[in-house]
A and B are shown apart, each in its own frame.
Chain A
Amino acid sequence: NAGVTQTPKFRILKIGQSMTLQCAQDMNHNYMYWYRQDPGMGLKLIYYSVGAGITDKGEVPNGYNVSRSTTEDFPLRLELAAPSQTSVYFCASSYSEAYTDTQYFGPGTRLTVL
């Protein structure tokens, strides 16, 4: 199993450009998440999904959109990139909502908006 994979690893965007961060998992996990991590900070939840076709906002959703058409994939769309979106983005997944279940993280995408 590859686990959680993310592409690209690094990206530089100009202000106002758009892009999609890709995330895929091969563990048949129902739950998927997008986080951002700013320098010296913890992870903030952007969006999450509890299954194909079902998504909801997290703590910091403004400026982002998601979709989940399959169990495996959970792309994150940035529209009109702004310098405040410079961050490291992590995708994660978990199997169920059980309180003992934890989240497994992908390697991250480092995004710079200039």
Chain B
Amino acid sequence: QKEVEQNSGPLSVPEGAIASLNCTYSDRGSQSFFWYRQYSGKSPELIMSIYSNGDKEDGRFTAQLNKASQYVSLLIRDSQPSDSATYLCAVKESSYKLIFGSGTRLLVRP
């Protein structure tokens, strides 16, 4: 059974700090990795995707991938209270199937 593991949190950071969210996965052959943000009572919304080892930056968000360690992370710089949400890590198991982690709840304190 292929798995995606995340710490459920909550991860609490002060406003303006860097939030670091982590995810590990079991399938060494995985090629595609996604971070979704989910506000309470809402649907998941894609915020980042990453396919190659290293860092990928988009505004205040940076995704980091290390395939050798089977580890993907999301950094949120200058965290804002509006970033408070659950962040879901998803790994593409096959050409069309995503395996989701259970999510990390982030709280940004004003």
Nearest opposing residue in chain B for A110, CB measure: B41
B residues at A contact (CB < 8 Å): 4, 8, 31-32, 34, 42-46, 49, 51, 88, 92, 95-98, 100-103
Q: Are A99 and B101 in contact (CB under 8 A)?
A: no
Q: Are A50 and B96 in contact (CB under 8 A)?
A: yes
Q: Are B43 and A107 in contact (CB under 8 A)?
A: yes
Name which of B43, B92, B101 has the most chain A CB atoms within 10 A of its CB: B43
Shortest Cβ gap from A30 to chain B (Å) = 9
Q: Are A43 and B49 in contact (CB under 8 A)?
A: no
How many contacts A-B (CB < 8 Å)? 53
A100's partner among B49, B88, B102 (CB-CB below 8 A) is B49
Q: Are B97 and A58 in contact (CB under 8 A)?
A: yes
A34 within 8 A of partner (CB) = no
Q: Are A43 and B44 in contact (CB under 8 A)?
A: yes
A75 within 8 A of partner (CB) = no
Point out the residues of chain A lying under 8 angstroms from B49, CB to CB: 100, 102
Point out the residues of chain A lying under 8 angstroms from B101, CB to CB: 42
Q: How many residues of A contact B (CB 8 A)?
A: 24
Point out the residues of chain A lying under 8 angstroms from B102, CB to CB: 40-42
Point out the residues of chain B lying under 8 angstroms from A44, CB to CB: 100
Kindly state the separation between the CA atoms of A108 and B98 in the bound complex, as whole angstroms. 18
A111 within 8 A of partner (CB) = no
Shortest Cβ gap from B73 to chain A (Å) = 17
Kindly state the separation between the CA atoms of A104 and B44 in the bound complex, as whole angstroms. 8
Shortest Cβ gap from B75 to chain A (Å) = 20
Q: Are B97 and A90 in contact (CB under 8 A)?
A: no
A74 within 8 A of partner (CB) = no
Q: Are A42 and B4 in contact (CB under 8 A)?
A: yes
B46's partner among A31, A43, A104 (CB-CB below 8 A) is A104
Q: Are B45 and A105 in contact (CB under 8 A)?
A: yes
Q: Are A106 and B4 in contact (CB under 8 A)?
A: no
Q: Are B44 and A90 in contact (CB under 8 A)?
A: yes
A62 within 8 A of partner (CB) = no
